[in-house]
Amino acid sequence: MNEYRWADLTLGLRARFEADITDASMAAFAEMSGDVNPLHTDDAFAVARGFPGRVAFGMLASSFYSTLVGIHLPGKYALLHGIDIEMKSPAFVGDRLTVSGEIVHLTDAYQRLEIKASIVNANGKTISKAKIRAGVHEP
């Protein structure tokens, strides 16, 4: 986990990590959210609708933006303020996703930053893009 403090942050600072969409994460998300739409839970149903298999929950894939902020950029002292997400393409069970972000704005008066972020699958297809706002609350 990164421990960036406000003074450490600069425009252009970047972070990147990989995450997998697994059967276990899909089951846990369905249980937690109550979303049991067969597009997410039934391979045959998803395939019959033209998909290669179960479609990952959009919010499951998007949850990795929280990991980006809380673990990587800025990390330990971050508090997520908001995320605007544009979902571009579905992710699927078994996908390995690359989550990346770059600081594009810093507001000293409020110790608030803005991150331009994206999630891309192993084939280079953009799953989503996001504008993330976060604060730094250090001791």
Give the model confidence (pLDDT) of 43-56 as tens digits. Answer: 999 999 999 999 99
Residue 129 reports pLDDT greater than 90? yes
Look at residue 27 and tell me if it is in a domain.
no
Strand partners, 92: 55
pTM: 0.93
Tell which wins on pLDDT, 61 or 138.
61
Summarize the confidence of residues 66-72 as an average pLDDT.
98
- Assess contact for 106 and 22: CB atoms under 8 A: no
Question: How many domains does the chain fold into?
Answer: 1
- Flag whether 114 is in a domain: yes
Does 71 map to a domain?
yes
Instruction: Give the pLDDT confidence of 95-111 residue by residue, as tens digits.
Output: 999 999 999 999 999 99
**Average pLDDT over the chain, rounded to whole?**
97
Residue 73 lies inside a defined structural domain of this protein: yes
Pair 51, 113: CB distance under 8 Å: no
103 lies in some domain? yes
DSSP 59-114: HHHHTHHHHIIIIISSBTTEEEEEEEEEE-S--BTT-EEEEEEEEEEEEGGGTEEE
**Structural domain includes residue 66:** yes
Residue 70 placed within a domain = yes
- The whole-number pLDDT of residue 139 equals 81
Average pLDDT in the 36-42 region?
96
Q: What is the CATH number of the domain that holds 16?
A: 3.10.129.10
